[in-house]
Amino acid sequence: MNKLELKKVVAALVFLVTLACVGVGHAAPVIEKPDVALRKAFPDLPFESVEQTEIKGLYEVVSGSNIFYYFPEKDYLFVGEIYAPPGRNLTAEKKGEIAAKLMGNLPLDKAVKIGNGKTVIIEFTDPECPFCRKAYEFFKNRTNVTRYAFFSPFAHPAAITKVYYILNAEDKEKAYNDVFEGKSVVEPATGYSEAVKKLAQEHLNLARSAGVSGTPTFFISGKLVVGADFQQIEKLLKDAAKTSK
């Protein structure tokens, strides 16, 4: 077991011990349905489902591509991972199911297509994000992937002009490459059309509905990768290559 896996196991144990401690109290019995109680306790949290876990009184909450755990007796919402013997990460397995479903429902015709390789990658990216630029460098010479890029510049609102530039271009792949190579962006004299601005907003809305909160985020063969985790991406690409043979 490597250090990262050990940290995850420790975090999971702390998480479960916390639940055990919470269960010791003598709270009033829960009368409301868990989804109703959750919506009252956390009105700003969007979620798709609330389901009972194998741990009594603990519910799994699906919010986009995120998983939370809700303990309605105390109105506690937990962020963490649950493990089961012999080392199965139940949270990661659920996230994988969600990622596969989301990937199948995304309108790829609205994305910017980059490359023509066998392995399909869906990415949510930001032209001003330094980690997204590192991801660009990681992928730019690979001919075995096809990437569908959606733009979600949550942390860099000023990047929207570069997003407009890419979505407005006749050759969007070239415009994407130019922007991530750091070439200057020249806005059209007449400005950008409402159609381009609407498409950019659709990209943002799709990111939110998919639970994307940071960039870069990738969906590779139904697996979710958050951040520039090139070790994990490389593994998924190798697995995908074996499957396609």
Q: Are 71 and 78 in contact (CB under 8 A)?
A: yes
User: What percentage of the chain reaches a pLDDT higher than 70?
Assistant: 87
pLDDT per residue over 155-191, tens digit each?
898 899 999 999 999 999 999 999 999 998 888 988 9
**What's the total number of domains in the chain?**
2
Two structure tokens written together for 13: 């144990």
Position 29 scores a pLDDT of 52
**Reduced to 3 states, what is the DSSP secondary structure of residue 213?**
coil
Q: What is the CATH number of the domain that holds 216?
A: 3.40.30.10
Confidence of residue 244 (pLDDT cuts 50, 70, 90): low
Same structural domain for residues 12 and 78?
yes
Instruction: Report the pLDDT value the prediction gives residue 149, as an integer from 0 to 100.
Output: 98
Listed residues 27, 56, 91: the one ending a domain: 91
Cα–Cα separations (whole angstroms), residue 114 to 84, 127, 151, 175, 194: 39, 15, 13, 11, 24
Tell which of 56, 91, 126 closes a domain: 91
The verdict on 156 and 71 lying in the same domain is no
Lowest mean pLDDT of 26-35, 51-60, 224-233, name the range: 26-35
Q: CA dihedral in degrees (141, 104, 96, 127; nearest 10)?
A: 40
Domain limits at 180? 106-244
Of 63, 61, 68, give the one whose Cα is nearest residue 34.
61
Q: Is the pLDDT score of 31 beyond 70?
A: no
State the pLDDT at residue 9: 44
- Dihedral angle, C-alpha 70, 75, 79, 80, nearest 10 °: -60
115 found inside a domain: yes
Q: What pTM was computed for the model?
A: 0.71
Q: Does some domain include residue 99?
A: no
Q: DSSP secondary-structure letter at 159? A: G
